[in-house]
Amino acid sequence: MELFGRDGDLRRLREIVDRPGTVTTLVGEPGSGKTALLRETASYARTAGLRVLAGTTLRDLLAPLLDAASALPVPHRRALTAAEQVPFRLAVATVELLASAAADRPLVLLLDDVQHLDPAGRQTVAFVARRIAADPIVMLAARRADCPGLGTPELEVAPLNDATARLLLERRASGLDGAVRERIMREAAGNPLALIELAAAWRFGGEPGSWAPLPVTATLERAFAPHLRGLPQPARDVLLATAVDEAGDLAEILATAAQTIEAVEPALDLVQPEGVRLRFRHPVLRSVVLAAEQPARHRAVHAAFANAAADPKRRVWHQAMSVEGPDEALAAELARHDHLPALERAAQLTSTAAKRAKWRLRAAEQAHELGRAELAEALVRDCAGDPLRAAWLREVCLVRPDPVRLLGLGAVAMAAGDDNLALHLCLRRPTRAASPPYAPGWRRSPIDWTRPTRGISPRSRWPSPSTEAPPSPPVGGVAASKPRRAAAARPGGACDRRPGPGGRPARTHGISAPSGRPVRRAAASAGRARQ
């Protein structure tokens, strides 16, 4: 089995196996890969000729050795087989049995899910861990980070870094839409199980909207919240209110759920108070909690928040989430707040195709400005209400837009009287087309075209003449042989600073320019390119 990003952990575990008398506990969040690490360690130990005993309880560990218990003193045999076991006697008998077995062949004990042991079992394991240092025995245990330890040295199983998490997601779910992949990356927070299961759940269809909870699998629920459905109803009410409103205001949550602070106590393995806030211990728990409740319960809690919220933006958001069908008045009010989730939800609430296209495209613009190009591309898909703006957004979401096509769209926009859109299109062209991606002035952010380049001279944007400059990319199907001159000479280029009205330079590298000449120049260039 291939483990991603765990080479260092495996190396340390193998070193531990090679040192008899060592005890270590793996500590990590659910789904972090503790069990997989124990499995790989067991394979290594068997290859090295060691005897491996694995399980989740002491009874599992000792079961293969009980046949040899007949050689132990009678009190120890009775302690191991008694129906009502005395913890201290059981612990002493366990140490004797393990030492006897290890004398014939070194042992490796692998105890998973220590958090599920009862207090007597935990005491016994801790006793055994303290008394095997002189024997050819290695003991590895694994527990969740939010559970009490055994008093042994610990090895943290940390979340995967971003690069490794992306590699795992690509290997397991290569066909995912880019916007969905980014959402899974954020919510999984480097947890291997969450990455795999969230991707698997999405294949069955997720709810539209970047704000919507991700679908989850039963495996994910069992790993992160095994006792969720068995919690008292007051605790479940508090959890649902926490999941519905991401602000996490503890007072508002309790008021909305009509509960007191005592209702939180049974759910403290899922949430943790932080001052006046209540937060989930892992981001994926929000989706797990929402998936465990019916949509009608979601809407009821949203309605309660809408009545209690003081902030107008939050109030209208919860109102919009509490309705089931189209609501034109609510959609219009929501769209006036003009932020990404509100525009997405407003597009869902309207039954007018033109408004839906308008709000989805505005949401796509905001997603693009926030650097979320994959989401922007998903939002403009199938938007027929404003084909020109949709075409512009599709172009700017590409890694390498076609400059000739952008100029052509700018000419069409100017002819249609949309000078603002025409300027956006024309200003997009020089930033991408004039600078090769490896030049010093090249900026990789999807929103760099909106940022002026003050303080950067035309020459500083290109490689020094003393070094060999790589060939520039083709512009409009024709390669520029001298990229620096081409950029400096091109009218309306990224560094054009020719005087505008009143002697001031007409800035053509920002959102707006004092004169309309850059738009006209770009349109003329587009006409020549088409010829």
Lowest mean pLDDT among 81-95, 167-181, 453-467, 486-500: 453-467
More confident position, 390 or 465: 390
Looking up tokens 């087989």 gives 81
User: According to DSSP H, which parts of 323-386 are helical?
Assistant: 328-336, 340-349, 353-369, 373-380
What integer is the mean pLDDT of 360-371?
A: 77
Overall domain count for the chain:
4
What is the 3-class SS of 242-267, one letter each residue?
Answer: HHHCCCCEHHHHHHHHCCCHHHHHHH
Which amino acid is it at 530? R
Q: Is 459 contained in some domain?
A: no
Q: Is 234 contained in some domain?
A: yes
What integer is the mean pLDDT of 396-408?
A: 59
The pLDDT value given to residue 427: 59
What integer is the mean pLDDT of 279-300?
A: 93
Q: Is 394 contained in some domain?
A: no
Note the Cα 7 to chain centre separation in Å.
22
What integer is the mean pLDDT of 247-258?
A: 89
* CATH code of the domain covering residue 131: 3.40.50.300
Note the Cα 226 to chain centre separation in Å.
22
Close Cβ partners of 412 (under 8 Å, ≥ 6 residues apart): 388
Are residues 359 and 239 part of one domain? yes
Are residues 14 and 112 part of one domain? yes
Domain boundary residue, one of 369, 391, 408: 369
Q: Is 384 contained in some domain?
A: no
Which amino acid is it at 316? V
Domain boundary residue, one of 326, 352, 369: 369
Q: Is 316 contained in some domain?
A: yes
d(CA 408, CA 71): 91
d(CA 95, CA 87): 12
Close Cβ partners of 518 (under 8 Å, ≥ 6 residues apart): 423, 426, 427, 492, 496, 506, 508
Residue of 61, 50, 75, 53 whose CA lies nearest to 124: 61
d(CA 51, CA 42): 9
What integer is the mean pLDDT of 469-477?
A: 42
Are residues 168 and 139 part of one domain? no
Phi-psi region of 3 (alpha: psi -120 to 50; beta: other; left: phi over 0): beta
Are residues 106 and 92 part of one domain? yes
d(CA 266, CA 288): 17
Does residue 395 surpass a pLDDT of 90? no
Bridge partner list, 111: 55, 141
Are residues 120 and 207 part of one domain? no
119-154 pLDDT, tens digit each: 888 888 999 999 988 899 999 999 998 888 888 999
Residue of 353, 182, 383, 179 whose CA lies nearest to 393: 383
Regarding beta strands 137-144 and 107-111, do their DSSP bridges make them parallel or antiparallel, or are they unpaired? Answer: parallel
175-205 pLDDT, tens digit each: 787 778 888 999 999 999 999 999 988 865 5
Are residues 528 and 422 part of one domain? yes
417-454 pLDDT, tens digit each: 666 666 665 655 433 333 333 333 333 333 332 333 33
d(CA 131, CA 112): 20
Are residues 146 and 103 part of one domain? yes
The pLDDT value given to residue 158: 95
Q: Residue 287's domain spans which residues?
A: 230-369
Are residues 196 and 70 part of one domain? no
Domain boundary residue, one of 128, 156, 184: 156
Distances from the Cα of 445 to the Cαs of 84, 373, 375, 422, 437, in angstroms?
66, 10, 15, 21, 11
Are residues 198 and 238 part of one domain? no
DSSP state string for 373-438: HHHHHHHHTT--SSHHHHHHHHHHHSSS--HHHHHHHHHHHHHTT-HHHHHHHHHHHHHHHHS-TT
Report pTM. Answer: 0.69
Q: Is 479 contained in some domain?
A: no
**Secondary structure of residue 23 in the 3-state scheme:** strand
Residue of 281, 278, 257, 277 whose CA lies nearest to 269: 281
Token duo for residue 303: 């309605």
Are residues 420 and 344 part of one domain? no
Lowest mean pLDDT among 386-395, 484-493, 515-524: 484-493
Q: Is 457 contained in some domain?
A: no
Are residues 407 and 320 part of one domain? no
Residue 272: CA count within 13 A, CB half-sphere: 6
Are residues 180 and 245 part of one domain? no
